[in-house]
Every structure is written in structure tokens, then in C-alpha cells.
Amino acid sequence: MKFLSLKYFLLIFFCIIFALAVGVSARALLELKNKKEWLATDSLINGYPQVLEENQLSTLNIFFPSFIDASKMTVDKDEERFIRLKEEYIANKVSFIEVDLRKMILRLYESGKVIKEMPVLTKGREGSWWETPTGIYKTLAKTVNHFSSIGNVWMPYSIQFYGNFFIHGWPYYPDGTPVAASYSGGCVRLSTEDAKNVFQFATIGMPILILEEPEVMESPSSVLIKKISSDLNAPVISAKAALVADLDSGLILLDKNSGQALPIASLVKLMTGVVASEIIYLERTTEVGFSNSLSFLPNKSYTAFDLLYPLLMQSSNEAASFIASFLGEKEFVKKMNEKAESLGMKNTVFADVSGKSSENVSTAKDLAKLAKYILEKRRFLYDISRGKNYLTFGPLNFGNLDNYNEFYNHPNLIGVKNGQTIAAKQTMLTVWNFRLGQNGPNKRIVIIVLGSEDRKTDTEVLLNWLRDNFDLQ
């Protein structure tokens, strides 16, 4: 009897201990969840971390979904998005046009099946002002013979898919002379016979997928992977949202609310610059009437290219308005939103060309997509943000502007844009070129802060965190 009593006593005792342990563990987990510095390793949604709770910060061991191991290469996330959409079109039996600028092939899909494949003869030269823009577009207009006032040539069987960009046959001058094979604007050029076939196939509104990405991205450095897999102290910043990522490999180094849509202030002007450079012939001029800015002389004409300097160096709202006047602001904003959609910026809305409205919202994740696109397709916009003078269209009207961007003269900086409104607080996007260690490869890193009390200090904190933890120089 005494033995049984002791047995029951011990059983009850251990049950009480177990219950207390469970309570303590649950409380500890709850406290851990509520910590500002939150470490995570498995919060992936479509290759990106989940949006964490308010004010939670994460240093993450995260790769794009195709990542296998550090010794292998990873598929570009943009290409994955392209392939995923293409597969959806095929599954849903959609008719569409695919242009693969890497393989220089155009394919026609009818009800989800390839019915014709043809070679792309030329495209916009990489790194030029008219490099062919990639993205998800649609047939906007069709013209049997379109005259380009920019190139002073006729373009047979032209299909407009975005701004001044077309799919067309072999162009020729007004006297009938075909252009030289070495000449190329930014359009997708086919043989005239092939262009005629595409012209007959295409309908207004038909999707056009245009991609030019490397088949694989650079493998994330094993050094970075080792570092990010270890215990890292999360930096203390005031920004409501932040993202630090390697643009070449897709490796996310730090995430704070990167999926939260927030007002972005003058970071809008990066998209204003992109759309201007892709839709407006940059040598076109507009006359400035009255202006509150000392930068503009009344009744003086400026080229669209001139206006990119005050837009990106001084965040001039007037420059943004003057640029939009080429199309009208309503139409220009529409083009900005269409471009965002083509880049997969799903949580971004542009309300104006300057960023004044609090309805201009985006996420750090979306802005990283824009940052990468500019780096690969419109890098001269970053150069202008640092004050580099281009003489492509003759002497500049704004060759000696003061630069209001922080870090513009930093030797590692590729590009920068800042912003500030009451609703957005302070915002900043910077792209950097670092070397990994003394003799390692270069790494192009984007740092984005939104809703900051002090964008410069926050960015400096993140830069120091990168140097201290990843040996980036």
C-alpha cells in the first residue's frame, strides 16, 4: 500500500513538473517571438521571406527557390517568374508571343502550343540608351508600315509592345535603301517575311513575353553563406522596413518587413526616369515657362535627357512634371504602373511622377526588382544620380548641379536615390559594388530603407553591419 502511495505521489509530482516546464517553454517562445531581433531560416514565400510582425528584423539564410547548394548555380528569379507565367498561359491555352533575347528566338503560341519559331536578327545593343526592355507586355498597336522619326526609317509590319519599342521587319530609308545590318535601335528586328507572319498572328492585347537574362545566376559565395548561417546580431535601425540583398545571386542578407507596402516618396522618380528613358526620345525638347527653381531658366528649352539630372540629383518635382509633360501626367503615370506590372512589382502603385502623394506605395521587395532592372538595363540612370556627365546629346544644361543625394561621391556607390514626405518619412535606395575579402569577387548589393527617421544613419549602420559580418570591402 505504501509502495502504491509512493508511486502515485511520484506520478503526480512528475506531472506537475512537466506542466510547469511546458508553461515556461511556451512563455519563452512567446518572448522570443516578440523580440525585435528575430532570426529565421525557413520563411520563404515565392523565394522571399514572409512579412514578419511589426518591427521584427531578420537576418536570413534565404535563397531563391531553385537554390540547391553552394557549389551550384541558381536560376534567375525573373526567369522563374517568366517561365511560371508562360506555363500558366500554356495550361490555360492562351495565344501569346514569346521573345527570348538570350537565344535570339521568337515563338508564336496558339492556344498554348508552339506553331512557329523564327530567329530574331537584331535587338537593342546592351548598355546602350536603346537596350531592348525586358518584361511582360502586350500588343498595343499594329501598323503595316510604321515610320520612325527617331531613326528616319520605315519599319514594315510593326507591332508596338511598349513605348517606342516594336517588333518589326527589316527597316529601310525613305529612298528604299535597307539599313545596314550593323545598325540597330532598341526594337526586335525580324526578317520582313517573318515579321509579316507575326503581324498576321498578333491581335491587340495579346501577351508578349520578352526576356533576356542569364540562364543561371552567380552562385552565392560560400563565405557569405557561412556567415549568414552563423549567429548574426541584427543591426538597430529606425526604418520601418529594410532590405539588404546581393543582386547578382539573389541572396537576401537582411530583411525587415520587406513585403509591407509603404509610401516611398521620391523613390518614385527612379521609375519616372526608367519610363522617360524608354518611352520618350531623350533628345526631344520642351520649353519651360515659369519655374520656382533657380535651376530652370524661363522660356528656355530643355531636352528630356537634360531633365534627368535635376530629377535624379536634386529630386526636382518640377523636373518630374516637365518630363511627364511629353505625354501628359495621367498617361505618364499609367505607363509607370504598366512598367511596374511588367517587372512583377505586384504591391506597387504610382499615383504621380514625383512621389508627393502618400498613395505612391511600394515594398522593399518590389523596389529591389526595380533596382536590379535599372542596374542591368538602364544603368546610366544610376550614373546620373552620382553626377556623371554624359555628352551624348551635346553639352549639358545641368553639368554643374549640386547633388542632394547622400553618398554620391563614395567610391563603392553605383547609384542612389533618396526621398522624404510626412507620410513616407525618409526613404533611400542605394546600390553598391563591394569586393569580397582582399582578392574575392565583386558583389553588387542593394540597400533599401523605408519609413526611416534618419535614412543616412540607417544606411550607414547597414553598411557597417555588412563590412563587419561579411568582409565586404
Which residues are part of the catalytic machinery? 266, 269, 315
365: enclosing H helix or E strand: helix 364-377
**Closest by CA position to 245, among listed 433, 444, 49, 80:** 444
CB 462 within 8 A of CB 472: no
Q: Is the sign of the CA dihedral 262, 263, 269, 272 positive or negative?
A: positive
Distance from C-alpha of 190 to C-alpha of 192, rounded to nearest angstrom = 6
Task: Decide: helix, strand or coil at residue 127.
Answer: coil
Q: How many CA atoms lie less than 13 Å away from 157 in the CB half-sphere?
A: 19
Phi and psi angles of residue 142, each rounded to the nearest 5 degrees, phi first: -130, 135
Non-local CB neighbours of 402 within 8 Å, separated by 6+ positions: 313, 314
The size of the chain, in residues, is 473
Q: What Cα–Cα distance (Å) separates residue 465 from each residue in 317, 431, 469?
A: 34, 16, 6
Task: Residue 88: count other Cβ atoms within 10 Å of its Cβ.
Answer: 11
Task: Decide: helix, strand or coil at residue 119.
Answer: strand
Distance from C-alpha of 156 to C-alpha of 195, rounded to nearest angstrom = 8
Task: Decide: helix, strand or coil at residue 279.
Answer: helix
Distance from C-alpha of 65 to C-alpha of 80, rounded to nearest angstrom = 9
CB 223 within 8 A of CB 320: no
Q: Where are the alpha helices (DSSP H) in 188-342?
A: 192-201, 222-229, 268-279, 304-313, 317-324, 329-342
Cell numbers that stand for 217 in this block: 545566376
Task: Residue 432: count other Cβ atoms within 10 Å of its Cβ.
Answer: 22
Distance from C-alpha of 18 to C-alpha of 273, rounded to nearest angstrom = 63
Task: Decide: helix, strand or coil at residue 147.
Answer: strand
